[in-house]
Amino acid sequence: MFTGIVSDVGSVVAVERGNDVRRIRIACAYDPAGIDIGASIACAGVCLTVVACVPAENGAVIDVDAAPEALRLTTAGDWKEGTRINLERPLRMGDELGGHVVAGHVDGLAVIDEREDTGDVIRFAFVAPDDLARFIAPKGSVALDGTSLTVNQVDGSRFDCLLVPHTLAVTTWKDRQPGDRVNLEVDTMARYVARLADVGVGLRSGTET
């Protein structure tokens, strides 16, 4: 589990394309002594498994494998040398839950529809896939590229978020532009609420018939 609070921005240094799995090498500032082989790291919101880790001058270089499902559903298939990626280590027992509960299981891709720079704050407007839009509500939470963000307004499948200076400084968001695709994970609580509502409708329909 993760919280959507980005703890480092890594940079892709190599991509090895296999028949099915793609191995991605990422330079980061994490202490290699604290990263076990088999550990999970959220890479732009995608939970990936560390398969190798070596010390580097300013931290570590980790290898992660992206399976076909991750390559199909997320931006991982577009990563190349030089791509900057939001990183987060998994939540530990007793850690502060500063964002919201994030599984690292990306639901789909949202597209940046608009960027509005207003002083120190940037407003991004996104278009979500139609099947995921029902899980996004004003003042609710979403994880976008691994960042826990609060939804401002919603209009159909379009929604917007305001990013404050600190978030812009410690993530990749200041580089984002209209047309960019970002990994979207909807709030787990919203998913269950929608499921319960669907079950309730089904039960009422069954009673009436």
Q: Give the active site residues.
A: 2, 40, 47, 49, 67, 105, 150
Position of tokens 């994490």? 30
Q: State which H helix or E strand residue 199 sits in.
A: helix 188-208
What gap in Å lies between CA 135 and CA 92, rounded to an integer?
A: 27
DSSP 9: E
Ramachandran region, residue 193 (left: φ > 0; alpha: ψ -120 to 50; beta: rest): alpha
DSSP β-bridge partners for residue 56: 59
Distances from the Cα of 107 to the Cαs of 30, 70, 112, 139, 145, in angstroms?
A: 27, 10, 16, 20, 11
138, 153 Cβ separation under 8 angstroms = yes
